[in-house]
Amino acid sequence: MNDTLDWTDRVLELRVGAVAHGGHCVARHDGRVVFVRHALPGERVRAVVDEDGGGAFCRADAVAVLEASPDRVSAPCSWARAGGCGGCDLQHVAPPAQRAWKAQVLAEQLLRLAGVRRGVEVEELPGGPLGWRTRVRFTVDGAGRPGFHPHRSHDVVPVEHCPIADPRVDALGVGRARWRGAASVDVAAPAEGDPLVVAAPAGVRPPRLAGGASVAVRDAPGQGDLRRVHGRTWVSERVLVDGVPRSFRVTGAGFWQVHPGAPQALLDAVLAAAEPRPGERALDLYSGVGLFAAGLAARVGPAGAVVAVESDRRAAADARRSLHDLPQVRFAPGKVADVLPGLVASGEGADVVVLDPPRSGAGRGVVEAVAGLAPRVVVYVACDPAALARDVATARAHGYRLTSLRAFDAFPMTHHVECVATLEPVV
């Protein structure tokens, strides 16, 4: 095979094989691996190669289905296709088969990267596969039109209506307005109160929107400082902590689970796995606005202690406001990798560690430091099966084994899945 071979724009007829991590299936053609989007295992498709580095594999998008899988359905969004929006990669798959797809990928990653053989059922969350996304980030093109990126591209596909977005997002008309001068527009449709719209950068003059919404501008495309245009710069989310309602303040487009059922499901799963006891010491790493810290604090009680570690200053400030009535919670601002060595050196240890790292995972150094604290249980919340598997492998090498695993379909119509893994010392 010629390593400099370039198949870009070539049309291939492929028999599609197994699913793979990342929202595609694996096929083979002339000795090369082809990662195919918008296909299903067992199908025969015609696909166009859209990315080829000339090595052992290339990437392609199915443009015609010659033999369809019984799990194939019509995508509810016209942009869920080759060359369209890259956000939803499984709209052509029936929802039960989507969950089976994610379970298969999760099991394969754990076996391949961690040497752990474990089956799992991906649990459905209430609400159905459409209209669930309560937080939406639109990227704005040069003409001020909001939309989304195609797969592995920086281009912008203008999209006025997103079927997976919460209906309140569409009701505001954000996707139909023109945002001249903006780099991006974030919309948060919270559990309590009106939505919040945040545009960046600060020079933008937001258009008039339908319905009630708070509006703010950011001084940079990332997580810059917020300036209120009208209303509030934050939203309020609510979860039951052991049956008692608790509200959480989330500033701007700060992190909160995008599926309305996910915060409750994950909190309940974490507490069931950790079983915090009165008087225990718990760590909440990558604590965000304090969702898991609140649950841990309720269980360890006034005689216990919870240390919440978070690097984002706005999230840490929101957590302080939301948990001000829980004196057993102590906040340790900073990056987890920087704060953990001091916690290990203090000799105080930890009975329970909960960590909810970004998509890239906690990483070897953090997992090793957590094991050094010798907790009786570690509960790891993960949104990427490969990152979870790599960290499970590190934990195994330091005396911790995977004892339970739950998975939730917190991102219907996409390949993403949310996991709660329980790690306990090998005895």
DSSP β-ladder status, 226-230 and 214-218: antiparallel
The answer to whether 239 touches 249, Cβ cutoff 8 Å, is: no
Catalytic residue check, 58:
no
Long-range CB contact pairs, 344-351, < 8 A, 24+: 344/369, 344/372, 344/373, 348/281, 349/281, 349/373, 349/374, 349/375, 350/281, 350/282, 350/283, 350/307, 350/374, 350/375, 351/276, 351/277, 351/280, 351/281, 351/282, 351/375, 351/376, 351/377
The amino acid at 204: V
Cβ of 146: how many Cβ atoms within 10 Å? 26
The answer to whether 19 touches 104, Cβ cutoff 8 Å, is: yes
- Cα 385–Cα 113–Cα 103 angle in degrees, nearest 5: 35
Question: Which stretch of DSSP H or E encloses residue 344?
Answer: helix 336-345
Residues 196, 184: Cα–Cα separation, whole Å: 14
Considering the candidates 58, 85, 383, 419, report the single residue annotated as catalytic. 383
Q: Among 121, 123, 116, 125, which residue's Cα sits nearest to residue 103? A: 121
Q: In this structure, what DSSP letter does residue 160 have?
A: S
Residues 320, 419: Cα–Cα separation, whole Å: 27
Is 244 in a helix, a strand, or coil?
Answer: strand
DSSP string across 247-312: EEEEETT----SSTTHHHHHHHHHHHHH---TT-EEEEET-TTSHHHHHHHHHH-TTSEEEEEE--
Task: Round the CA-based radius of gyration of the chain to a whole number and report it.
Answer: 23
Active-site residue numbers? 383
